Amino acid sequence: MTPSDWLPHRPPFLLLDTMISIEPGVRASGLWTLTGDEWFFPGHFPGRPTTPGVLLLESLAQCGAVAVLADPRYAGRLPLFGGIEHARFRRQVLPGDKVLLECEMTRLSARGGKGHGVASVHGQVAVESDLLFILADAT
């Protein structure tokens, strides 16, 4: 299954290509491959394309959302950002990089939760953060 089987996001804002593993309601991992043709590279930054950190956080959130939405208890819900805590950016993500996204739920209830996400490239952490979310009705 692809991320779009669970997520309402669509290109150009689907920032997750492939799911590697999903443990519903617990954790998920996936990949985001940056080709260099993404819409943000020409302006961020001209001559030195770098993936914006906020988009790396969004890609982690999307990975975590798959873990949540794959759980039948939360099917039909919409996880929305509630906050970002302890975000640390450790390396740039460049065109051609394949980003491994891993998100584990540390708290989950009918109203929302919290997950810890790590994005890495070639075994090096690019960003990690705690992601808080609320669960809204999708309609």
Annotated catalytic residues are 44
Residues 77, 136: Cα–Cα separation, whole Å: 6
Neighbours of 84 (CB within 10 A): 15
**Is there a contact between 93 and 50 (Cβ–Cβ < 8 Å)?**
yes
Q: Could you tell me whether strands 112-121 and 18-23 are parallel, antiparallel, or unpaired per DSSP bridges?
A: unpaired
DSSP E strands, the chain: 18-23, 27-33, 77-89, 98-108, 112-121, 124-137
**Torsions phi, psi of 124, nearest 5?**
-100, 130
Residues 87, 54: Cα–Cα separation, whole Å: 10
